[in-house]
Amino acid sequence: MLGYQTSADQRKWTCVVECDRMIRSTTEASPAGPGRRTTSKDKGIALGKRFWREVLVVLALVALALAVRLCRLQEIPPGLYIDEAANGMDVLDILGGHHPIFFERNNGREPLFIYLQALVAALLGPTPFALRLTAALIGGATVLAVYWMVREAFAATADSLWLALWTSLCLALSYWHLTFSRMGLRAIMVPLIACLTFAWFWRAWWRLKAEGPFPLTELILCGITLGVGLYTYTSARLVPILVLVVGLVGVFQVRQDRALRWRRMLALVLILALALIVVLPLGVYFASHPGVFVGRAGQVSILSDSAGDHSAAGDQHAIHVDQVVLGFGHRGSSSQHH
């Protein structure tokens, strides 16, 4: 009797699965209803519905990111951090007619974020809220940018949508990204520019086939975005190196396909050349002020306090690694602004 029931159960569930499969195939292929063959119009309607559902979900994620970044922004974190106050003084200089390519106050800072703060301050008034609102809006935009980047990077996989959605959700609620989105500091711009750079990079990269049109527009936008990133923060100088490494790996992967290899090499050269052109004004300034270029990086280097003592430098490196690893869930920052 037990064997008979098991067999009957198997037949029942087989029937259910087959019915479900038929319903799914009918629903997906024939939006107008069962018993009707799929037409190009039906497919267009189905794709349109899927597109707008995706748009609504992404907009909901961005709204969530903005909500947690804007909530009580005038009160939390309390007071202005010294670096935020320095930015505020530079904003006042900009509103007063001073427009430098690099801000030398407070150990030197790249200009793009401060000019964006000045734009918000011009609209809302020179207040601490205006300084932090700039960072909050950039943090919210980064959630959208990381979604696009993941979609482009995994465009050839069936799971690109879910990967992009989960990545965006994690970033929207990420403690550290949320923290810096609520502080008027320029470091928040690096994730945004890096995501936009690699979104254009992957969009162009998958279109670099041995035959077919050369994705010139995407490559130009990638190079421009990469160059703009160097106007944001010191650590953004590592992004071109990352683009170069990823590009060279891609070139090496197709070494047997000579035509595709040369197209990828040309694309990589074009990206880096455009980035160099975009960053040229800032590069000219650094060439005439070399101490400014290495000043801040030297201050935070593990070699700065060791005076050439390699063993001390190794100890500093171990301490930094320990702080970074434990900061993901065991021991965070002791700063009350964090």
What confidence score (pLDDT) does residue 50 get?
86
pLDDT of the residue at 197: 98
Who contacts 179 (Cβ-Cβ below 8 Å, separation ≥6)?
A: 337, 338
Residue 78 CA from chain centroid, whole number: 28
User: Distance of CA 336 to CAs 10, 67, 204, 333, Å?
Assistant: 61, 22, 43, 8
pTM: 0.83
Q: What is the pLDDT of residue 305?
A: 54
126 within 8 A of 245, measured Cβ to Cβ:
no
In the chain, what are the domain boundaries? 62-289
Q: What is the pLDDT of residue 243?
A: 98
pLDDT at site 71? 96
Which residues are bridge partners to 103 per DSSP? Answer: 109
pLDDT at 336: 66
103 alpha-carbon distance from chain centroid? 25
Question: 171: burial class by Cβ within 10 Å (0-12, 13-18, 19+)?
Answer: buried
Residue 251: its pLDDT value, please? 94
CA distance 20 to 313: 63
CB atoms within 10 A of CB 82: 10
Place of tokens 């920052």: 333
Helices 128-153 and 40-70: angle between axes, nearest 10 degrees: 150
What are the residues whose beta carbons fall under 8 Å from the beta carbon of 260, sequence distance 6 or more?
Answer: 208, 209, 210, 254
Question: How many CB atoms sit inside 10 A of residue 204's CB?
Answer: 24
Q: pLDDT per position in the chain (338 positions), as tens?
A: 334 344 544 544 454 444 444 334 433 444 455 555 667 666 677 778 888 999 999 999 999 999 999 999 999 998 899 999 999 999 999 999 999 999 999 989 999 999 999 999 999 999 999 999 999 999 999 999 999 999 999 998 889 999 999 999 999 999 999 999 999 999 999 999 999 999 999 999 999 976 789 999 999 999 999 999 999 999 999 999 999 999 999 999 988 888 899 999 999 999 999 999 999 999 999 999 988 887 766 666 666 654 445 556 667 778 777 777 777 766 767 766 66
Rg (CA), the chain: 26
**Res 318: pLDDT:** 80
